[in-house]
């Protein structure tokens, strides 16, 4: 794109370019120059909209967190329908797309990014994964109230287990992506006790 051409939504354009790089090449390939090249803009465009590269990355992560908020609303609406294991499996499959997994890697390995994210968000855990745990825990609490899992369910502990296991299943960029069947088996094993005890 030639210099001087107006971009309707430059931030979205740059985020989309960054996500394509993350999907195709992983977090190591994400630089301001690579984003400008992918977006077809001059390198200065990113710096006109963001104070520095880490400020850009903070907003990229926040954009991903906003998507998790949307996913959380959809998951909570599914409470009481289908099966608990099926709903959780679908949620994990949606959550751990290749871009989300790459963003988690970016957060883990960029200390400055993590520090900036913690200034405005939870001061513990890994952003994106922390919000994902909250999403799963809220859903499990809803299912508990509906009587589909045991009344003494520790939703926070189960959510941590599910997100940790899910991340491990999807974290290998070089291997084949996790299949729904494999994710479903993990989910079923993690929640087996609380599903069984609701019947007692």
Reported as a single tens digit per residue, the pLDDT across 37-66 is 999 999 889 989 999 999 999 999 999 999
- The tens digit of pLDDT for each residue in 85-134 reads 999 999 999 999 999 999 999 999 999 999 899 887 766 789 999 999 99
Domain regions of the chain by residue span: 1-49, 63-197
How far is C-alpha 159 from the geometric centre of its chain's CA atoms?
14
Is 0.85 topped by the overall pTM? yes
CATH 1.10.10.60 fits 1-49, yes or no: yes
Give 200's pLDDT tier (boundaries 50, 70, 90): low
Say what the pLDDT of residue 172 is. 83
- The tens digit of pLDDT for each residue in 124-180 reads 789 999 999 999 999 999 999 999 999 999 999 999 999 999 999 998 877 777 899
Q: In terms of C-beta distances under 8 Å and separation of at least 24 residues, what long-range contacts does 167-174 make, across chains too?
A: 167/96, 167/101, 167/104, 167/129, 169/96, 170/96, 170/101, 171/101, 171/105, 173/26, 173/98, 173/101, 173/102
Say whether 63-197 and 1-49 share the same fold. Answer: no
Say what the pLDDT of residue 5 is. 43
Give 2's pLDDT tier (boundaries 50, 70, 90): very low
Q: 56 near 32, Cβ under 8 Å?
A: yes
Start-to-end CA distance of the chain, whole Å, equals: 65
pLDDT value at 1 more than 90: no
How far is C-alpha 5 from the geometric centre of its chain's CA atoms?
33
Say what the pLDDT of residue 53 is. 94
Q: Would you give the DSSP letter of residue 6?
A: -
CATH T-level fold of 63-197: Tetracycline Repressor; domain 2 (1.10.357)
Say what the pLDDT of residue 199 is. 66
106 C-beta neighbours (distance < 10 Å), count = 21
Exposure string for 153-167, b = 16+ CB within 10 A, e = fewer: bebeebbbbbbebbb
pLDDT value at 6 more than 70: no
**At which residue do the structure tokens 């729904």 appear?**
180
């Amino acid at each position: 794109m030639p210099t001087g051409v107006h971009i309707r939504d430059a931030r979205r354009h740059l985020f989309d370019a960054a996500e394509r790089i993350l999907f195709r090449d992983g977090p190591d390939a994400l630089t301001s120059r690579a984003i400008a090249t992918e977006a077809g803009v001059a390198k200065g465009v990113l710096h006109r909209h963001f104070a520095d590269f880490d400020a850009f990355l903070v907003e990229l992560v926040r954009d991903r967190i906003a998507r998790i908020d949307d996913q959380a609303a959809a998951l909570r609406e599914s409470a009481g329908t289908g099966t608990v294991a099926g709903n959780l499996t679908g949620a994990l499959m949606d959550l751990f797309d290749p871009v989300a997994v790459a963003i988690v890697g970016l957060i883990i390995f960029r200390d400055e990014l993590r520090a900036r994210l913690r200034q405005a968000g939870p001061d513990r855990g890994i952003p994106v994964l922390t919000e994902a745990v909250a999403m799963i825990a809220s859903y499990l609490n809803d299912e508990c109230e509906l009587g589909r899992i045991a009344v003494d369910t520790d939703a926070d502990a189960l959510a941590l287990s599910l997100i940790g296991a899910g991340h491990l299943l999807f974290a290998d960029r070089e291997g084949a992506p996790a299949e729904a069947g494999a994710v479903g088996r993990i989910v079923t094993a993690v929640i087996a006790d609380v599903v069984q005890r609701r019947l007692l």
